Amino acid sequence: MQLQKMERLQTRALSVQCIKRDFIRNKYVYLMALPIIAYYIIFHYIPMGGVVIAFQNYTPKKGFIHSDWVGLKHFVSFLTSYQAVRVIRNTLTINIYEILFGFPAPILLALLLNEITSMKYKRVIQTVSYLPHFISLVVICGIITDFSITNGLFNDIIVFLGGERSNLLMRKELFRTIFVSSGIWQGVGWGSIIYLSTLSGIDPNLYEAAAIDGAGRFRQLLHITLPALIPTITVLLIMRLGHIMSQGFEKIILLYNPLTYETADVISSYVYRRGLQESDYSFGAAVGLFNSIINVTVLIMSNYLSRRITKESLW
């Protein structure tokens, strides 16, 4: 008993000492980290206090302290609203589609690019694939709309393949496909950068050794390239899962119309429409908080699962 206590005290003293020594040895590193820590505290942690407005009828004039408390009124108002089930369902489905189809796309592109031996060709492909990332969303959606109308390019292709003309953006069953695939087109190049940088860090000796052992390109890909990517993929996937309830409203409201509400209306676009009629901060904050709680729960769960299964995790 006594011994155990002593030991514990000793280790605590030791760890304090350790930290102290670490501080002295790496003082410049800590100094450099200071502004970033301060940034997070000032701009990310302190404003979290503002979440109280989700439980108030907040008005700027009265401020956080004097606004009237209304408890869970805004949460109830959102969850009992006529469209709540639909917008939550749509947010989840679009996100799941994006994870299912959008998440692997940059990995595939990176792997393909990695197999290209001509540097010049590779650079050109990379640059071309980045380009859409820099085009404004409004322009992208304008292009999509123009291509999707009855006499648009997409319909010309459909007719060529033996289909019939229709306005694609008026068909609710196609909305998710258009939304997700245009998202892939726009983001695939940009998303592949992080994987390419990981790939460039692989020791070429590994490939050489594998080649000597008789491994072909596909074997090399399977046993060297992919395993090297796994940590990056895991981290990014966990972080992506942490956004499962988030879906920006900009692209949605640029592409949807009442005919596609059934598959296109998501939480953020619903809040946006409601906000249009009145600047209701508290309602917006309540919905945001609701989303964040689910996001964090999913994040923690996926991190736990990942740690159990792949031994890779965020923490």
82 near another protein (CB under 8 A): yes
Question: Long-range CB contacts (< 8 A, 24+ apart) of 283-286?
Answer: 283/74, 283/77, 283/78, 285/50, 285/51, 285/53, 285/54, 285/58, 285/74, 286/54, 286/55, 286/74, 286/75, 286/77, 286/78
Give least dist CB 261 to another protein, A: 5
Which CB atom, from 106 or from 152, has the smaller least distance to another protein? 152
Give least dist CB 171 to another protein, A: 10
Binding mask 268-287 for another protein (x = CB under 8 A): --x--xx--xxxxx------
- Per the structure block, which two tokens stand in for 266? 């998501």
312 near another protein (CB under 8 A): no
234 near another protein (CB under 8 A): no
Which CB atom, from 225 or from 269, has the smaller least distance to another protein? 269
Give least dist CB 283 to another protein, A: 8
Give least dist CB 286 to another protein, A: 13
Strands (E), the chain: 56-57, 68-69
Region from 113-121, 177-185, 236-244, 262-270 binding another protein, contact rule CB under 8 A: 262-270
Location of structure tokens 């930290």: 19
Give least dist CB 293 to another protein, A: 22
Binding positions for another protein, 106-165, rule CB under 8 A:
145, 148-151, 165
The sign of the dihedral angle between the CA atoms of 51, 54, 57, 60 is positive
Contacting another protein (CB under 8 A), which of 262, 295, 298, 314? 262
Interior CA angle at 266 toward 53 and 151, to 5°? 145
60 near another protein (CB under 8 A): yes
Q: How far apart are the first and last CA of the chain?
A: 33
Give least dist CB 165 to another protein, A: 8
CB atoms within 10 A of CB 167: 17
Q: How far is residue 44's CA from residue 37's CA, in Å, rounded to a whole number?
A: 10
Strand partners of residue 69: 56
Residues that bind another protein (CB under 8 A): 59-61, 77, 81-83, 145, 148-151, 165-167, 169-170, 257-259, 261-262, 265, 270, 273-274, 277-281
